[in-house]
Amino acid sequence: MSILFNGSYDPSSLEARIMNQQQKIAEGYRQTGDAAHKAMLFGTNAARSPAEAYREFDSKSKIETIPAGEFALITRILPIAKPVTLGRKLYEHRKVSDMNTGQTSMSGTIGVKSDKVDVEYDGTPVPIHDKGFHIDFREKLAMDSEGYDSLIDYSREAERGLMRTKNNYMWNGDSSIVFKSKTWLGLFNDPSVATATLAVDLSASATTTEDIRAETARVRDIMYITNNATVGLVLVVSPQIASNWERPLSNADSTFGSVGKYIQTNLRGIVEIIEDDKLVGNQIVFLQNNQDGFHAVSGMAINTYAIPRLHHNSNFSYVKWCAVGFMAKQDFSGKKTALYAS
């Protein structure tokens, strides 16, 4: 602050006395402020620096790393799920038979042969999957007071745990979940999924590229020819097979690309190859990925709700839940749309 004194004032005048008094008051404020400032500097320099002055805190948590291919198949299945209302505990579909052939004649006056289709029903339960989590009430209040979202880590890990529950149900099923005699035993075990035995180890580096191509084509034909599953076949492989198929098709000419690229490009019917960590070693799955083949049945996507707190010191508790089932459709004559081979 600067004060300008006009020297034209008479030192004995009232104006001069007022100005002198204001100058003394301002000087007193300045001296008091200097003393306080010095005390603050000396006190700060003499004391230990607080942790926040030299420590940088990363607000992003380091989470558990996930294996390659986790949720690879289920994240492709869920977007094309068949939607149903949450009240539907069972999803069913009709299976109708073929009719016999017609007849041929020159006159066209022979009796007409009438025919009809036979009908059967198949279905799968739509169970509810849930995962609860909570945070200590004082921990949440402390973190909230610092502007830190205390629920990010809890919510993320709970949702990942719930995804693993759904993923495990898709692959392994659950024999205890039965409704109206219908159950889902998973891609590994359900009778609606075809099975085959691999004659060579597709994950072994010692297996020749020609043996890999021939064996993959043989198993593909079980779907493509035997079961007439000719639309949009997805080949799911283990991480070990995926790594082995990265090797070049020809060591003499790299322009041929990798083994995996060759199989996807040149074996008819295969539209995609993905790796999923639920498969281990020499395991593969072929499936027709649409609502006429292998698909999910979704009654509700993952949702989160808070459990009411009953007391002042109750923890903050939440539940994530969803409703989803899975089905591998087969026709009236038993032709299948999914195959597991090992």
- What pLDDT digit, counting tens, does each position of 253-303 carry? 666 788 999 999 889 899 999 999 999 999 999 999 888 999 999 999 999
Residues in the chain: 342
Taking residues 246-259, what's their average pLDDT? 77
| More confident site: 70 or 251 | 70
Element (H, E) at 298: strand 294-307
Taking residues 305-321, what's their average pLDDT? 92
pLDDT-above-90 percentage for the chain: 54
**pLDDT attached to residue 45:** 44
For the ranges 66-75, 186-195, 201-210, the lowest mean pLDDT is seen at: 66-75
Q: Helices in the chain by DSSP H: which ranges?
A: 14-46, 51-54, 74-77, 137-145, 152-172, 209-221, 239-244, 259-266
pTM to 2 decimal places: 0.78
Please write the tens of the pLDDT for every residue from 34-45. Answer: 555 444 444 444
- Whole-angstrom CA distances from 67 to 72, 161, 185, 314, 342 are 11, 14, 24, 36, 21
Quick one: how far is CA 97 from the chain centroid? 38
**pLDDT attached to residue 3:** 44
**pLDDT attached to residue 281:** 95
> Backbone phi, then psi, for 307, in 5-degree steps?
-80, 130
Q: How does residue 113 score in pLDDT terms, banded at 50, 70 and 90?
A: confident
How far apart, in whole angstroms, are the C-alpha atoms of residue 5 and residue 100? 117
Structure tokens at 247: 């090797």
For the ranges 77-86, 138-147, 158-167, 216-225, the lowest mean pLDDT is seen at: 138-147
> Residue 76, Cβ neighbours under 10 Å: how many?
16
For the ranges 59-68, 148-157, 213-222, 328-337, the lowest mean pLDDT is seen at: 59-68
For residue 5, pLDDT over 50 is answered with no
**pLDDT attached to residue 167:** 95
Q: What is the mean pLDDT of the chain?
A: 84
pLDDT-above-70 percentage for the chain: 80
Taking residues 162-182, what's their average pLDDT? 95
Which of 75, 40, 124 shows the shortest CA–CA distance to 234?
75
Q: How does residue 248 score in pLDDT terms, banded at 50, 70 and 90?
A: confident
**pLDDT attached to residue 149:** 78
Structure tokens at 338: 């999914």
By three-state DSSP, how is residue 211 classified?
helix
Longest dimension (CA), the chain: 143
Q: How does residue 19 score in pLDDT terms, banded at 50, 70 and 90?
A: low
How far apart, in whole angstroms, are the C-alpha atoms of residue 237 and residue 172? 16
Q: How does residue 198 score in pLDDT terms, banded at 50, 70 and 90?
A: very high
